[in-house]
Amino acid sequence: MKRLATENNRDELTVPQIAAEAGVTPSTIYRRWGDLSALLADVAVERLRPIADPEDTGAVASDLRLFIEQFMEEMSSPVGRALMRDVFSSEEAYPCQCAGFTREHLTTIVSRARARDEAAFDIDQVLDHVVAPIIYHILYGDRELTLDYCHALLDRVQSRPTAAAPPAPAGPAAAQRAPREKAGRGSVRAPRVVPPKTRVGRKSANSKSPGRR
């Protein structure tokens, strides 16, 4: 399959050609994949599947920056663009598999950061504000991708206020817990409003009066 792809134009590939190269009948390919687009997408996913973890530079910031640089360069290359077209040409869940590969890489970088006691980044923010724009521009080809552009995307994510420790989610469960927590804290402080020492002090003062007389 790879040899055919390198020797022939992508649009000129046919199921009979691939079947002959694989030594099977065309019906075998149709039974397994259904059509040519699904076959090409399956092959593209296998070629995009990671074979190694992201490089470990020793710091989370440089780990993430290097990963994004390599991601952009590989996916925006002619081979990367062709593989992405094949992945998105099928109606199957191949794009979701590729998205999973990227999330796994980012998860690895975050795990390393936590092991080094570093502040980790938000994976969803990197996917939404760095990876997604890169993929968008590759698919639609409306601008030239550069390292400076990728660095600017990273800088925006790292400077976002939400990059710090996020507040606790205010979901329905949290809303139900809030009144109980406030009531609980009030019941703990309530005895201090009228401390028993006040009454004890008055009694002790009265008990000393007969002594003075």
* Three-state SS sequence of 13-28: CCHHHHHHHHCCCHHH
Q: Which residues contact 4 (CB under 8 A, 6 or more apart)?
A: 13, 17, 18, 21
pLDDT above 90: percentage of residues in the chain: 36
pLDDT per residue over 116-156, tens digit each?
999 999 999 999 999 999 999 998 887 889 999 999 999 99
Give me the pLDDT at residue 188, please.
Answer: 38
Q: What is the SS3 assignment for 89?
A: helix
Give me the pLDDT at residue 149, please.
Answer: 95
Sign of CA dihedral 199, 205, 206, 211: positive
Identify which has the larger pLDDT, 90 or 131: 131
Q: Is the pLDDT of residue 5 over 70?
A: no
Sign of CA dihedral 179, 181, 187, 192: negative
Give me the pLDDT at residue 122, please.
Answer: 95
For the entire predicted model, the pTM comes to: 0.65
- What is the SS3 string spanning 48-83? HCCCCCCCCCCCHHHHHHHHHHHHHHHHCCHHHHHH
Q: How far apart are CA 15 and CA 19, in angstroms?
A: 6
Average pLDDT of the segment spanning 175-192? 45
Q: Comparing C-alpha atoms, which of 83, 108, 105 is closest to residue 95? A: 83
- What is the SS3 string spanning 94-154? HHHHHHHHHHHHHHHHHHHHHHCCCCCCCHHHHHHHHHHHHHHHHHHCCCCCCHHHHHHHH
The chain-wide mean pLDDT, for the chain, equals 77
pLDDT per residue over 13-71, tens digit each?
788 888 887 788 888 888 888 888 888 888 888 888 888 999 999 999 999 999 999 99
Q: Is the pLDDT of residue 107 over 90?
A: yes
Residue 68 is encoded by which pair of tokens? 């994004």
Q: What's the pLDDT band for 89 if we cut at 50, 70, 90?
A: confident
Chain centroid offset of residue 109 CA: 11
